[in-house]
Amino acid sequence: MPPMRQSSLFPELTPPRYAEHTAGSFVGNMDAPVHRWFRYSAGFSGAWAADLIASEAEERPVRVLDPFAGSATTLIAAEQCGAESWGLDSHPFVARVAHAKLAYRSSPSDYRRTAARVLAHAKRIEPDLASYAPLIRRCYSDDALRQLDCLRRAVESVDGDSAPGRLAWLTLAAILRPTSHVGTANWQYLLPDRRKARVAVPFVAFQAMAQVIQDDMEAIGGVTGPRADFGLGDARTCAGLPDRRFNLVVTSPPYPNNYDYADATRLELTFFGEVRGWGDLQQHIRQHLLRSCTQHVPNSAVDLDEVLSSPELAPIATQLRSTCTRLGEIRLARGGKKTYHNMVACYFLDLAQVWRALRRVCQSPCRVCFVIGDSAPYGVYVPVVEWLSELALAAGFRSTSFEKTRDRNTKWKNRKHRVPLCEGRLWALG
Ligand SMILES: C[S@@+](CC[C@H](N)C(=O)[O-])C[C@H]1O[C@@H](n2cnc3c(N)ncnc32)[C@H](O)[C@@H]1O
């Protein structure tokens, strides 16, 4: 797509090109120190984020913001580039992972001692499986769950606010998948009826993970410079962030593709007792998130007309209404009757608010980079890049452009529709 409404008054705002890495993929992070501590499928490439920040920092001192910080990929990359950075995520479990990973610059020997103490303590205490929800009983053998329960109690005996305490919690969170015999679908959803071939023993996995964390902390010891400032928060308001503070935003909002960030972390949330069943996910998690999945937007919760009449959506209102009307009609003929019509409308309203919040907290000039993809629920194409661009311009950014990084949905087999999709980087400048 060519640059959209590029303003000649702002020649310095030409978007740069970073084509080397697949920005949208977490896969490369599994070999990268610190990034690899927690497999977060929704994450993007730490190497790409670091390249982008380093290259921007050659031109001017950067103040980086990631309002959808996820597992803290951008913030760790910014720290490693010596840049100031801030981040938010509104998913309580994911935010805790990010907060724990950001303790990577604390003392490796304190962490080593804490992890060893946790493991020794866990091996001495009596497990109690009575309080675990049925999902957890299905996901672990009794033997595995006994060890995990003892590890959990031992982790809880450490000061959870201290850096070693945060890292000890992360060590346990990181082994919950490898120690479960239950299969996992794409994007981390659980498949309790499928079994994995290889399952790790919790005490052994904890020790191995602790070694990885300690090795990375020692290897990366030379990182100095500003520490990232991260908190639980909502990108739609960016509440608590000061006005006109940032000049570089590197982020990836949820895509309007029905990925359920709450369900994707159900195993961990249930193990730690934050939810007991599926019904708790809405109240405890989804209600804090951008509305990007149909589970979030039943007809009982959304007044579609009111959403579509919101002034924030004015720049795309006509096209959006016609897409939502079509989706509302198609669903009536489909078995699942998914509420994509509500999801698409609410998603763009939420993103319109994000752009407004970003305009408030960003300096002028600034550069905003969204890693984003389009979608086609029920085969109806949603021009995500185009509409997000319109909303960015309406919020006060001066120009937008899009760099495609990959095509999606090109293998027709087993696909629900044949609409070609893509993923890439949407830049908003101004
Ligand atoms: C695509 S992921 C970002 C992943 C991140 N780039 C990484 O590498 O880990 C989108 C993130 O947005 C978060 N999120 C969803 N709604 C949010 C909101 N309203 N405010 C802040 N974060 C939100 C989700 O919890 C998720 O972690």
DSSP string over 114-147: HHHHHHHHHHHSPP--TT--HHHHHHS-HHHHHH
Rg of the chain (C-alpha set): 22
Cβ atoms of 144 and 131 within 8 Å: the answer is no
What residue's CA is closest to ligand 1, atom 17? 289
Cβ atoms of 212 and 219 within 8 Å: the answer is no
CB 338 less than 6 A from any atom of ligand 1 = no
DSSP string over 325-382: HHHHHHHHTSSS---HHHHHHHHHHHHHHHHHHHHHHEEEEEEEEEEEE-B-GGG--B
CB 268 less than 6 A from any atom of ligand 1 = no
Superfamily of domain 11-96+226-429 in the CATH hierarchy = Vaccinia Virus protein VP39 (3.40.50.150)
What residue's CA is closest to ligand 1, atom 27? 70
Stated pTM of the model? 0.93
428 DSSP 8-state letter: E
C-alpha 42 – ligand 1 centre gap (Å): 8
Region at 52 (left for phi over 0; alpha for psi -120 to 50; beta for the rest):
alpha
Token pair belonging to 83: 């840049």
Could you give the CA distance from residue 232 to residue 92 in angstroms, rounded to a whole number? 7
Task: Output the CA angle 59-62-64, nearest 5 degrees.
Answer: 140
Token pair belonging to 127: 């497990």
CB 392 less than 6 A from any atom of ligand 1 = no
Region at 235 (left for phi over 0; alpha for psi -120 to 50; beta for the rest):
alpha
Token pair belonging to 124: 């001495």
Question: 3-class DSSP state for residue 295?
Answer: helix
CB 270 less than 6 A from any atom of ligand 1 = no
Q: What is the mean pLDDT of each run of 10 residues along the chain (430 residues)?
A: 33 42 66 92 91 94 98 97 97 98 97 98 97 95 98 97 98 97 78 86 98 95 91 97 98 95 95 92 95 96 98 98 98 93 98 98 97 94 97 98 86 67 94
Token pair belonging to 393: 């311009």
C-alpha 204 – ligand 1 centre gap (Å): 31
Question: 3-class DSSP state for residue 197?
Answer: coil
For 26-83, the three-class secondary structure string (H helix, E strand, C coil) is CHHHHHCCCHHHCCCCCCCCHHHHHHHHHHHHHHCCCEEEECCCCCCHHHHHHHHCCC
User: Which ligand 1 atom is nearest residue 290's CA?
Assistant: 16
284 DSSP 8-state letter: H
CB 35 less than 6 A from any atom of ligand 1 = no
- Is the N-terminal amide bond of 365 cis, ω within 30° of 0? yes
What residue's CA is closest to ligand 1, atom 12? 68
C-alpha 401 – ligand 1 centre gap (Å): 22
pLDDT value at residue 193: 81
Cβ atoms of 296 and 286 within 8 Å: the answer is yes
C-alpha 95 – ligand 1 centre gap (Å): 9
Could you give the CA distance from residue 133 to residue 135 in angstroms, rounded to a whole number? 5
C-alpha 144 – ligand 1 centre gap (Å): 31
- Helix, strand, coil shares of the chain as percentages rounded to 5? 50, 15, 35
Question: 3-class DSSP state for residue 8?
Answer: coil
Residue ranges, comma separated, of all CATH 3.40.50.150 domains in the chain are 11-96+226-429
Could you give the CA distance from residue 316 to residue 392 in angstroms, rounded to a whole number? 11
Cβ atoms of 382 and 376 within 8 Å: the answer is yes
